[in-house]
Structure 1
Amino acid sequence: MNERERQVLARIERARAARPRVRDERITLAHGAGGRATADLVGAVFLEQFRNRWLEPLEDQAVFAADAGRLAFTTDSYVVRPLFFPGGDIGDLAVNGTVNDLAVSGARPLHLSAAFVLEEGFPVADLRRVAAAMARAAGAAGVTIVTGDTKVVERGKGDGCYITTSGVGVLERDVTLGAARARPGDAVLVSGPVGDHGITVMLARGDLGIEAELRSDTAPLNGLVDSLLDAVPEGVRCLRDATRGGVATVLNEIAGACGAGAEVREDAVPVRPAVRGASELLGIDPLYVACEGRLVAVVAEEHAATALAALRAHPLGADAAVIGSMTDGPSGLVLLRTAFGGTRVLDTLVGDPLPRIC
């Protein structure tokens, strides 16, 4: 490593160690993109005010003890545009996203709530279509929607329909998963091609003039997670669904939480040709594009082959791949080994290249 590279790494480490700050005076779209601006907002505003031992790990769910055993609890809001897109809609996205946030903790999802903010003038037929999609998704995931709420705002104030879902699940296995558990040498796996959802939604808006045969990957991952944990009852360190900010941002979060580095091999990352082509035209990296039916798994090296076989044996993991490993490099630094043999920093998402995709 030459002097210039050492200086770059030193600046990156200082930036990562800095206390989160919100530099903007007003909220921007970047604050909802799942990248650095989101992390700064959460750390400087919400974590600062709400700090407690359940919130502080900043996982996709909180795990806590109750009389019934260990429970997982999560909540999320969905503001996708357009509401209907190839492969799904805001309804199944809302159910699957909440199911997946529970599943990656190792929990069995049980019950969901659903709150709707509807705009005056929104077609009842479209609402029925959304509700039907939610019912089908809940049935496929084996969960029930047991409570909810409905609000209506004035015409022009709500963009049709927003949905917030919360969910609770039970941890029946003696397993503790979390980003802080990752270790140097662990293998990094993805359960399938990345970027399908974000690019599909972006193209569905029809304002880019790009046509491609793509469908969202939205799907419930609890069955896939069960298959993985059944096959590897020990050795799975961390699971994350790669939604806002994509695989790259997830790996930065994991590396930062565990104090290790990570390295990804570009040629090992599964990306559909249509996604790669559209991403090149849009000037974005598929590793930063949201998925809604893909997970990232960090697994102890000795269990990686078994974990990969378990993922590939499930329909949702048929194209799973080992894409890299955790390293003993600088804390929180994620590197991409390019197809041309070079190396570049794979940093947390900055800005919002694909707004309103989940």
Structure 2
Amino acid sequence: MSDTITLAHGAGGRQTADLIESVFARHFRNPEFTADDAAILPLGNTRTAFTTDGFIVSPWKFPGGNIGKLSICGTVNDLSCMGARPKYLSCAFQIEEGFPLHALEEIAASMAQTAAEAGVRIVAGDTKVAGRGQVDHIFITTTGIGEVQEGASPAGHKARPGDAIIVTGDIGRHGCTILLARNEFGIDADLTSDCAPLWGTVEQLLDTVNDRSDLHVIRDATRGGVGTVLYEIAAQSGTGMRLHAEAIPVHPAVRGVCGMLGLEPLYLACEGRLVIIAPQDAAPGIVKTLQQGKYSTNAAVIGEVTENHAGQVVLTTEIGTQTMLPAPGGELLPRIC
């Protein structure tokens, strides 16, 4: 491990996992410390999900959203992935001196609108103003609590050989949108971020599946994208993951940009997509329900969990050959969330 922090430590891949294990888990480990999207805490007679997240996206405003919308979606989605109805959020702002007040108004309005859609209340917060150059425009941290729904207990270690791997829509769109918004490559493409609050998607699934325990794993594919999420689940569950390239939904513009720049869509961030792992016999009903939802109309089964290649992700290409998807490492695209 490096003696100093690098951008790769924030990418969500191998270096992030090493940092968490060697520093944070070593000092903070306790029975509730979790590798999932939120901790499940036994408070009274209910199970409460608790999570926190920081947002430093650059640029702060992008096609399809801004840092305010992103901050609400990110925390709401982490709670939702634990089968928890989001209830309350707090938000902390670190604002650079000189940041336009009208821009802050735009961010706050977006947060309020997104919170209302998700059915969550912003109930507390904190504001700090830093000197010029000490913060890049604005950073936001949101913390959320939610009520875990009866019978719901998704977790990364519950993936089982034979399970289907489902994504709720086309992948990599947020990361690609942020890349183009920076205008570093002079590429024009009609793309908007998939940034969206996904409690409604999860609630619809919980209300329609025959057995809520069939939702073995639910994860949102943010930093590191779908590929990194699958590597995390493979490590937690001691299983392998096999994907079918022709089944993975990718927006044509994302595919084109990735082709020009040599990027892998599986490692580009999403901010409105879930990875769901469930038994094969439950998968058709889950996909049918998802395809009727607002943010999941092109949901699809993209692979299956396997006994072999434990801890690895294998990709079956369009011509039928198999290749090992490289383990996530390094920093593909910094400051995407």
- Report if TM-score (shorter chain) is over 0.5: yes
Contact map agreement 2:151 2:213 (CA 8 A) in 1: no
CA displacement at 1:354 relative to structure 2: 1.0
CA displacement at 1:234 relative to structure 2: 3.6
Q: Once the two structures are superposed, what CA deviation does each residue of 1:310-344 show, in whole Å capped at 9, x if it has no partner?
A: 11111211100000000011321110111122111
The corresponding residue for 1:206 is: 183
Counterparts of 1:94-243 in structure 2, within 5 Å, are 94-232=71-209, 233-243=212-222
The corresponding residue for 2:330 is: 351
- Give distance in 1, aligned partners of 2:304 and 2:59: 36
Q: Once the two structures are superposed, what CA deviation does each residue of 1:4-27 show, in whole Å capped at 9, x if it has no partner?
A: xxxxxxxxxxxxxxxxxxx11111
Asked if 1:62 is matched to 2:39, the reply is yes
Contact map agreement 1:245 1:348 (CA 8 A) in 2: no
CA displacement at 1:347 relative to structure 2: 3.4
The corresponding residue for 1:89 is: 66
The one of 28, 40, 53 equivalent to 1:50 is: 28
CA displacement at 1:53 relative to structure 2: 1.7
The corresponding residue for 1:295 is: 274
Contact map agreement 2:175 2:336 (CA 8 A) in 1: yes
The one of 259, 269, 273 equivalent to 2:238 is: 259
Asked if 1:245 is matched to 2:224, the reply is yes
Q: Please state whether the residue corresponding to 1:148 is helix, strand or coil.
A: strand
Q: Once the two structures are superposed, what CA deviation does each residue of 1:152-195 show, in whole Å capped at 9, x if it has no partner?
A: 11101100000000000001322211011110000000000001
- Give distance in 2, aligned partners of 1:325 and 1:354: 28
The corresponding residue for 2:250 is: 271
- Give distance in 2, aligned partners of 1:172 and 1:253: 24
Normalising by structure 2, what TM-score? 0.98
Q: Mind listing any 5+ residue stretches in structure 1 that lack a counterpart? A: 1-22
CA displacement at 1:124 relative to structure 2: 0.9
The corresponding residue for 1:20 is: none
- Give distance in 1, aligned partners of 2:123 and 2:202: 24
Q: Please state whether the residue corresponding to 2:282 is helix, strand or coil.
A: helix
- Give distance in 2, aligned partners of 1:280 and 1:115: 38
Q: Once the two structures are superposed, what CA deviation does each residue of 1:13-42 show, in whole Å capped at 9, x if it has no partner?
A: xxxxxxxxxx11111111111111111111
CA displacement at 1:64 relative to structure 2: 1.3
- Give distance in 2, aligned partners of 1:347 and 1:300: 26
- Give distance in 1, aligned partners of 2:311 and 2:200: 31
The corresponding residue for 2:6 is: 28
What RMSD, in angstroms, separates the aligned Cα atoms of the two structures? 0.9
Asked if 1:342 is matched to 2:321, the reply is yes
CA displacement at 1:68 relative to structure 2: 4.6
Contact map agreement 1:252 1:347 (CA 8 A) in 2: no
Contact map agreement 2:160 2:305 (CA 8 A) in 1: yes
Q: Please state whether the residue corresponding to 2:216 is helix, strand or coil.
A: strand
- Give distance in 2, aligned partners of 1:175 and 1:25: 41
Amino acid at match of 2:16: T
- Give distance in 2, aligned partners of 1:323 and 1:166: 32
- Give distance in 1, aligned partners of 2:261 and 2:11: 17
Contact map agreement 2:154 2:213 (CA 8 A) in 1: no
- Give distance in 1, aligned partners of 2:191 and 2:320: 30
- Give distance in 1, aligned partners of 2:301 and 2:40: 28
The corresponding residue for 2:288 is: 309
Contact map agreement 1:249 1:347 (CA 8 A) in 2: no
- Give distance in 2, aligned partners of 1:68 and 1:81: 42
Amino acid at match of 2:218: L
- Give distance in 1, aligned partners of 2:134 and 2:228: 31
Number of equivalent positions = 335
- Give distance in 1, aligned partners of 2:179 and 2:312: 29
Normalising by structure 1, what TM-score? 0.92
- Give distance in 1, aligned partners of 2:101 and 2:310: 51
